[in-house]
Structure 1
Amino acid sequence: MTEQHKPTTATEIEDVQNIKDKRHIAIDKVGIKDIRHPVVVSDRTTGEQHTVANFNMYVNLPHEFKGTHMSRFVEILNQHEREITVQSFHTMLGEMTERLDAQSGYIEMSFPYFVNKEAPVSKVRSLMDYQVSFVGEIIQGKTSMTVKVVVPVTSLCPCSKNISDYGAHNQRSHVTLTVKTDSFIWIEDLIDLVEDEASCQIYGLLKRPDEKYVTEHAYDNPKFVEDMVRDVAARLNADKRIQAYTVESENFESIHNHSAYALITNGF
C-alpha cells in the first residue's frame, strides 16, 4: 500500500473541538435539540407509563474551546436505554457536565402523558392526553428540577352569564402549570389541581348525559382567566411540596379573534 493511500488511524484524526478559540467569547448553551427517545415515567394508577419524549440537552462552553462533543449527548441518552425517569435526571445531568467538562448543564424532556378518564355520568372511559415537560439544570454542582404540565379545560365567562337572558359563551382553555419541588409529586396531582379549579374538565369521550352534565357544570362555575390563575395559585400556596411555581391560563375565546391571558409567578 502506497503512502498516499495509507488509512488514517483514530489517533491521527485531529480533535477540532479542542482547538483553542481566540475570540474570547463564552457560549451559555450548546448541545443537541429535539431528539426523540423512549422513556418510562411514573404513573399513579398503573405504576409506570411508556411514552416517547423529545429531548433538548445543553452545556456551557468556555471561551477557550472551539466546540463541544455533540456525540457525547447522544451517548449519554442511549446509555440509559429506556430507563429514563424523573429520578434519573440528576444522574444524567451529572454525567453530562462531567463528560463534557462543563460547569453547567440543562436537560428538557417533553412528552405526551395519558390519563384514562371516566366520563362524569355514563362512566365510559377514554384516554386524555396532556403535554408534560421535565426540566433539569445543574449549575456549579447544584441541581434544580421543574415539572411543567399543560392542562386543557373549559372556562365559562361570568360576564356573559350575568348579562344574557339565556346561555353564556365558553371556550377551551390551556392552563400551563410549572412547579419546582424538592420531593416527589405525581403528574396526576398537578392535573387534578388544575381541573378542580376550572369551570369544567375536558374528556376524551362523552355520551349525551355527559354532555348535559359538562354544559351545566360549566354554567354553574363561571371563571374569568384571572379567576383561574388566582384559584390555582391559592391551591399551590397551600401545598408544602411546592417550592416555586408559575401558573398561566390562555382562553381561546369563542366570540373574539384573540385569546385572553393571565400569569402568576411565585418563587422563581
Structure 2
Amino acid sequence: MSQHLPDVQADAPDVTVGLSQVGVTGVDKLVKIARNGDRPIILTAEFDVFVDLPAWRKGADMSRNMEVIDEILEDATREEAYRPEEVCGDAASRLLEKHEYTTRAEVSMNAKFMQRERTPESDRETQHTVDIIASATATDEGTREEIGARVDGMTVCPCSQGMSTARARRTLEDLGVDDGTITAFLDEVPQPGHSQRGHATLTIEADGDPQVELDDVIDIARDAMSARIYNLAKRPDEDHMTYASHADAKFVEDCVRAMAEGVVDEFHHLPDDAVVTMAQSNDESIHQHNAHAERVVDVGTLRREVREEY
C-alpha cells in the first residue's frame, strides 16, 4: 500500500509575500533547429524557467517545470522546422497551463551557434561563433517572444584616428607636400586609431511570433561595428580587416545607432509595439575601463527617430 505524501509546497508560507520569479536556471539541453533545404542546426542550449508565485503558496512545483521543459525540447528535436523563440514560447505556454496558481511564465534560452562563412580576401572556409538569445513570456493575454544574438567584431576610435590624421597632415606639410595631394592621400589611406574588440547585442521582442530571421539579426549586429572579424585570417584577410575598420571608425554610440538603422531598414513588418534592445560594449585597448552604450525602444518610436519624423 503506497503512502500518501504531503504536498508541502501547496501550504501557506510563514511570510505571505508573493514572488515575481521562482524556477530553475542552467538547464542544459540539445535542441535541433531544422532548416528548409539544409542540414538542421544542433544547439547546446541553456534554459532558465520561471513562474510567479502568489503570496498564499509556499513553493512552486519544480518537477512540473522540468517535466514541461523535457517535453517541449523532446518535441523540438522531432519537428521539421522550429525557431528558438518558439521553443521558449511553447514551454512558457505549457508552464502557464500546468501551474494553475501562476499568472506569468517565463522561459529564456542561450546557445552557441557556429555560423559557416568565408574569409573576405583569401576565400577560405571558416566559422564564426554567435550567442543566440531567445525568450518568451506567457500570460493570460497571450505569449510574447524574443529572438536575438550577441556577436563579436572590431571598432576603431574616431577621436584617436582624428588626432593621427592631424599629425599626418602636419608631417606632410612640413615635407612640402601640397594641400591637394595631402587631402587626396588622407582620403585614400585612413590613419591609425586605437581599436577595440566589440560585442554587439540585438534582440527583438513582439507578441506571438516576431517572424524575424536570426541570420538577419546577426548580419545587422555584425555590420554595425567598424569591421567583421574572422576566426581564420591569412595576411590578406588581416589587411582587409585593418583597412575596413579604419575606413569606418565608430564610437560605441555609433554602433548602437547603426543597429537601429539596420532594424528599421530590414524589418518593415514588425508592429509598432515590438521592442528592440540594442547594446554595444567595447573592450578598450588603451584604457583600463570599457565603453558601453545601449537603447531599449519600441519599433514605432525607433522608426520615427531614424526617419527624423519628430
Q: How does 1:1-268 map to 2 (within 5 A)?
A: 9-10=2-3, 12-41=4-33, 46=38, 48-84=40-76, 85=82, 86-101=85-100, 102-164=102-164, 165=168, 166-181=191-206, 182-238=209-265, 239-242=267-270, 243-267=274-298
Quote the Cα distance in structure 2 between the aligned partners of 1:43 and 1:116.
15
Letter in 1 for 2:204: V
Is the alpha carbon distance of 1:71 and 1:53 closer, same or farther for their aligned partners in structure 2, counting shifts above 3 Å? same
TM-score (norm 2): 0.78
Quote the Cα distance in structure 2 between the aligned partners of 1:44 and 1:197.
28
Is the alpha carbon distance of 1:139 and 1:81 closer, same or farther for their aligned partners in structure 2, counting shifts above 3 Å? closer
Shift of 1:147: 1.6
Letter in 1 for 2:231: G
Preserved contact between residue 72 and residue 90 of structure 2 (Cα < 8 Å): no
Quote the Cα distance in structure 1 between the aligned partners of 2:134 and 2:36.
17
State the Cα deviation string for residues 42-63 of structure 1 (Å, max 9, x = none).
Answer: 5588353111111110111111
Match of 2:176?
Answer: none
Preserved contact between residue 19 and residue 52 of structure 2 (Cα < 8 Å): yes
More helix by share: 2
Shift of 1:25: 1.2
Quote the Cα distance in structure 2 between the aligned partners of 1:195 and 1:95.
35
**Matched positions, count:** 260
Is the alpha carbon distance of 1:174 and 1:42 closer, same or farther for their aligned partners in structure 2, counting shifts above 3 Å? farther
State the Cα deviation string for residues 50-107 of structure 1 (Å, max 9, x = none).
Answer: 1111111011111111111101111111123444343343322221111121111000
Preserved contact between residue 198 and residue 225 of structure 2 (Cα < 8 Å): no
Letter in 2 for 1:246: T
State the Cα deviation string for residues 81-136 of structure 1 (Å, max 9, x = none).
Answer: 44434334332222111112111100011110110011001111111111111110
Quote the Cα distance in structure 1 between the aligned partners of 2:105 and 2:131.
23
Is the alpha carbon distance of 1:83 and 1:207 closer, same or farther for their aligned partners in structure 2, counting shifts above 3 Å? farther
Preserved contact between residue 112 and residue 129 of structure 1 (Cα < 8 Å): yes
State the Cα deviation string for residues 177-209 of structure 1 (Å, max 9, x = none).
Answer: 121244322211111112223210011111111
Letter in 2 for 1:195: R
Quote the Cα distance in structure 1 between the aligned partners of 2:93 and 2:124.
45
Q: Percent of pairs identical after alignment?
A: 26
More strand by share: 1
Quote the Cα distance in structure 2 between the aligned partners of 1:195 and 1:45.
25
TM-score (norm 1): 0.90
Q: Say what the alpha-carbon RMSD is for the aligned residues.
A: 1.9
Is the alpha carbon distance of 1:226 and 1:176 closer, same or farther for their aligned partners in structure 2, counting shifts above 3 Å? same
Preserved contact between residue 32 and residue 70 of structure 1 (Cα < 8 Å): yes
Unaligned runs of 5+ in 2: 77-81, 169-190, 300-310
Preserved contact between residue 103 and residue 141 of structure 1 (Cα < 8 Å): no
Quote the Cα distance in structure 2 between the aligned partners of 1:130 and 1:45.
22
Unaligned runs of 5+ in 1: 1-7
Quote the Cα distance in structure 2 between the aligned partners of 1:66 and 1:23.
9
Quote the Cα distance in structure 1 between the aligned partners of 2:237 and 2:97.
54
Is the alpha carbon distance of 1:229 and 1:236 closer, same or farther for their aligned partners in structure 2, counting shifts above 3 Å? same
